[in-house]
Structures are given as C-alpha cells and as structure tokens.
Amino acid sequence: MKKNEILDFILKYIYVFILIIIVIIPAIINIVLYYITHFEKTITIKDKYTRYRRYGSNYNIVDENNTIYQVGNVWFKMNFDRAEDYNKLEKGKKYKVKGYGIRLPMLDTYKKIYYVF
C-alpha cells in the first residue's frame, strides 16, 4: 500500500469513529435514559413559560413542588407533538403526564414531559 492509501484508510475509520461519537452514542444514551427514568404522575401546573434559544424554543412548565419540566418530543417513539401538549396545559389545573429524564444543572437538562392526558 502506498502512503496515501494508508492515510485514506485511517481517515475513513476516524470519520466513522467521529460519527459514532456524535450521533449514535447520544441516541443510545437517550433511549436508555428513557427506559431507566420513565415516569407517569399527576401534577398541578404552577407556571408555564417559553424559553427562547438561538435555534429554537423550549416549552417549560413548573409544578406545585417547583420542579421544572420541559415539554418535548420523543423521536424514537415518533412522538412529535410538543407544541400541542404545551398548549393544552393551563396554570392551576391538574394533569396526568408521562415523562422521563433527570435534572442536570451543569448540562442544562430537565425532566422531559412527552405526553399529557
């Protein structure tokens, strides 16, 4: 093999490795997190607000215990109706919700609600 062929071969595997790190591992972590932390409970909405970000918005709600949840989609369950779920919610009312996740302040992550009854 020539030096260029060896370098191309190595670069090909580096690109595949980077793809795995950027796409596949976070997807697997998200699915595992769903199955480990899944919850279904009744909450009373104390407040709701939209947090505007550079590339989109986050729909957040606060329950009576001051727990912050993010209303979101679950791509691996083909659930893409976060805007509709957020609009259903009214302050002061009780709702049964399904969600998953953990709160990690350093990573700016919240428990995620993906279904509102």
Q: Annotate the chain with three-state secondary structure.
A: CCHHHHHHHHHHHHHHHHHHHHHHHHHHHHHHHHHHHCEEEEEEEEEEEEEEECCEEEEEEEECCCCEEEECCEHHHCECCHHHHHHHCCCCCEEEEEEECCCEHHHCECEEEEEEC
pLDDT in tens, 38-47: 999 999 999 9
Range of the domain at 28: 1-37
Asked whether residue 46 falls in the same domain as residue 32, the answer is no
The pLDDT of residue 64 is 95
Asked whether residue 58 falls in the same domain as residue 21, the answer is no
Mean pLDDT (the chain, rounded)? 91
pTM of the model: 0.79
Asked whether residue 2 falls in the same domain as residue 57, the answer is no
The pLDDT of residue 19 is 87
